[in-house]
């Protein structure tokens, strides 16, 4: 009897929660919060608006770009600076525009997610420290080489910048002194990891004129509209962190003239549990219809929208526009004629054409002049500027390419479903890539979302068939090298420099390393020496 009572209480609680977390309540809450996001973006209209994936993507109709800062990297006693998620495009964009605004949200009980209260502050601090170290090195090298008087002015500027460059850890006031001290103790180690990752700090230092610094804004923040400072007036490059939802510790019932509904703080989180295959893009294309449909008709309206979109894409082969990152000469190549241009050089100083308004239909990213591109399954219908396709999605497509050897379908499951699916397919993937790249063909590698499996396959191809300078050599460099996890991480940083939406999972990265090392990853955690003097382990690939 007691067990039945407990069970019935549990069922009642679950039933109440389901009623509160309906899709209409979620969408209506998101819509209301988006009004606040729009108001904040209008305070600094010159600053680009970025969504922190995936939750933040729901909270506005149009974003300039996206980023990926995980809350788990900021959890207490689990702080980390992950070189697999450097988000350098955010820093470059902030440097060009004078700052940026990042949107995210969190469930009830918190004003800000840990991604905003700790992960991003750690990220800005580590980048600032790396830039300061770079500026100091530039100054030291200039002094040793005894540059001419004409360059002494630049040397003095670099020296002054390195001295005045703010490298302090800026955290919100509610973070305890104990937690702050623990994070500060790890900053030097994280800075060394960033230096060892091979990230292009020199280009970043040239792009940023002032150090990065986070600012926090929520619906409880008081802002005097007649005293809003211009972003150029600050002595730092602002990363404005906007928590979209209203923080509350209890359920709020809100009413309109027609309906009553339950407000859900952080409604955009965990979309798999409520969205019913509705995407942020679909929602904003039909926002007014969905909101006006009311609680009773919303479910059917969502089902109709999702089905119509599925049929529309199927009839058109999921055709979508492609985005090409064009390779350019290195900024200082004229000053160093002997410097050979890398196939992976990127003109970060002109992101006006490359970083256009964010669109979910963005299909592919070219990795410089390497003839490699990664993309989503939608890119499979867009064959312009592509000679061959490596399809890692579960579904095949019908392509009319002249060469029958120009298409290979390797259905690959995620590591959560099959721990060895990617590992089994990598030999065939590399063989196919070598066959086509050796003929100078342009290869597109795509998967369902263009974020995980396709990125990992591209990583394996990049290491197996290209030398450390990014030149295709058919595997000569790889056959003479011992690939470590640090070397693999460097190549991943290179891919993320172009494919800014890349989010490879730890399980798939472990399979790539297993393939490259010629065997399976041992269940025991192995440690490898790092160039920073520390070590790395299997735990680092996440």
Distance of CA 9 to the CA centre of its chain: 41
Distance CA(393)–CA(391), nearest Å, equals 6
Residue 519 pLDDT: 53
Q: How confident is the model at residue 349 (pLDDT cuts 50, 70, 90)?
A: very low
Tokens of 9: 């209480």
Q: Give the angle subtended at the CA of 52 by the CAs of 36 and 280, to the nearest 5°.
A: 70
Complete DSSP assignment for 483-528 = --HHHHHHHHHHHHHH-TT----HHHHHHHHHHHTTSPPPSSPPEE
Three-state SS at 461: helix
Dihedral sign for Cα 21, 26, 28, 30, please. positive
Residue 386 pLDDT: 84
Mean pLDDT of 457-471: 92
Residue 26 pLDDT: 93
Polymer length of the chain: 542
Tokens of 70: 């995980």
pLDDT in tens, 37-88: 999 999 999 999 999 998 999 999 999 999 999 998 989 888 999 888 899 9
Dihedral sign for Cα 469, 473, 474, 477, please. negative
Residue 458 pLDDT: 96
Dihedral sign for Cα 232, 236, 239, 245, please. negative
The per-residue pLDDT of the chain, averaged, comes to: 81
Q: Which domains does the chain have, with CATH numbers?
A: 20-140+165-243 (no CATH), 364-518 (3.90.190.10)
Runs of H (alpha helix) within 392-451 = 421-437
End-to-end C-alpha distance for the chain, whole angstroms: 47
* Pairing assessment for the beta strands 407-409 and 388-391 based on DSSP bridges: parallel
Dihedral sign for Cα 9, 15, 18, 22, please. negative
Q: How confident is the model at residue 139 (pLDDT cuts 50, 70, 90)?
A: confident
Residue 320 pLDDT: 34
- To the nearest 10°, the Cα dihedral for 343, 344, 350, 355? 130
Contact 158, 138 (CB under 8 A): yes
Residue 520 pLDDT: 39
Total Cβ atoms within 10 A of residue 342? 17
Tokens of 35: 């009004």
Q: Which of 69-73, 180-184, 273-277, 319-323 has the lowest mean pLDDT?
A: 319-323
Mean pLDDT of 122-137: 94
Distance CA(216)–CA(86), nearest Å, equals 21
Residue 290 pLDDT: 94
Distance CA(65)–CA(48), nearest Å, equals 8
Q: Which residues of 180-195 are buried (b: 16+ CB within 10 A; e: fewer)?
A: eeebeeebeebbbbbb
Tokens of 118: 């700790």
Nearest residue to 135 (alpha-carbon basis) of 209, 197, 194:
209
Distance CA(244)–CA(117), nearest Å, equals 14
Q: How confident is the model at residue 397 (pLDDT cuts 50, 70, 90)?
A: confident
Mean pLDDT of 296-311: 92
> 34 φ, ψ to 5°?
-65, -25
Distance CA(112)–CA(322), nearest Å, equals 35
pLDDT at 89 over 80: yes
């Amino acid at each position: 009897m007691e067990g039945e009572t407990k069970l019935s209480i549990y069922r009642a609680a679950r039933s109440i929660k389901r009623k509160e977390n309906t899709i209409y309540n979620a969408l209506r809450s998101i819509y209301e919060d988006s009004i606040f996001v729009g108001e904040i973006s209008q305070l600094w209209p010159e600053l680009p608006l970025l969504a922190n994936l995936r939750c933040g993507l729901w909270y506005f109709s149009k974003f300039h770009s996206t980023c990926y800062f995980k809350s788990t990297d900021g959890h207490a006693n689990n702080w980390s600076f992950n070189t697999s998620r450097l988000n350098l495009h955010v820093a470059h964009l902030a440097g060009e525009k004078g700052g940026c605004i990042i949107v995210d949200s969190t469930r009830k009980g918190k004003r800000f997610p840990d991604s905003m209260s700790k992960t991003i502050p750690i990220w800005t601090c580590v980048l600032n420290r790396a830039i300061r170290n770079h500026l100091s090195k530039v100054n030291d090298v200039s002094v040793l080489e005894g540059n001419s008087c004409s360059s002494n002015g630049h040397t003095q500027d670099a020296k002054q910048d390195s001295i005045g460059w703010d490298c302090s850890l800026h955290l919100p006031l509610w973070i305890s002194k104990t937690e702050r001290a623990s994070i500060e103790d790890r900053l030097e180690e994280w800075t060394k990891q960033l230096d060892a990752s091979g990230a292009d700090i020199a280009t970043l230092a040239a792009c940023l004129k002032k150090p990065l610094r986070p600012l926090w804004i929520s619906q409880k923040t008081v802002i005097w509209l007649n005293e809003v400072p211009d972003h150029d007036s600050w002595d730092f490059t602002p990363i404005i962190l906007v928590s979209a939802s209203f923080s509350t510790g209890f359920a709020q019932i809100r009413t309109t003239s027609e309906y009553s509904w339950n407000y859900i703080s952080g409604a955009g989180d965990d979309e798999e549990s409520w969205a019913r295959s509705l995407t942020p893009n679909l929602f904003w294309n039909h926002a007014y219809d969905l909101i006006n449909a009311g609680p009773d008709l919303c479910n059917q309206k969502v089902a109709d929208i999702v089905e119509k979109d599925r049929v529309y894409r199927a009839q058109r082969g999921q055709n979508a526009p492609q985005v090409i990152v064009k390779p350019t000469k290195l900024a200082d190549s004229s000053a160093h004629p002997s410097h050979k241009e890398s196939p992976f050089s990127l003109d970060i100083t002109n992101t006006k054409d490359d970083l256009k308004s964010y669109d979910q239909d963005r299909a592919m990213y070219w990795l410089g002049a390497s003839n490699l591109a990664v993309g989503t399954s939608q890119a499979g219908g867009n064959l312009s500027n592509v000679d061959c396709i490596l399809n890692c999605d579960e579904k095949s497509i019908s392509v009319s390419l002249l060469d029958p050897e120009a298409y290979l379908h390797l259905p690959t499951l995620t590591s959560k479903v099959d721990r060895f699916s990617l590992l089994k397919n990598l030999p065939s993937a590399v063989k196919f890539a070598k066959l086509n790249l050796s003929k100078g063909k342009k290869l597109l590698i795509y998967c369902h979302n263009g974020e995980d499996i396709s990125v990992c396959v591209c990583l394996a191809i990049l290491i197996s068939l290209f030398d450390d300078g990014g030149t295709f050599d058919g595997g000569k460099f790889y056959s003479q090298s011992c690939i470590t996890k640090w070397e693999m991480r460097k190549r991943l940083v290179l891919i993320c420099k172009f494919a800014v939406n890349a989010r490879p999972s730890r399980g798939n990265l472990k399979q790539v390393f297993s393939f490259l090392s010629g065997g399976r990853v041992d269940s025991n955690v192995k440690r490898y020496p790092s160039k920073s003097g520390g070590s790395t382990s299997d735990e680092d690939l996440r």
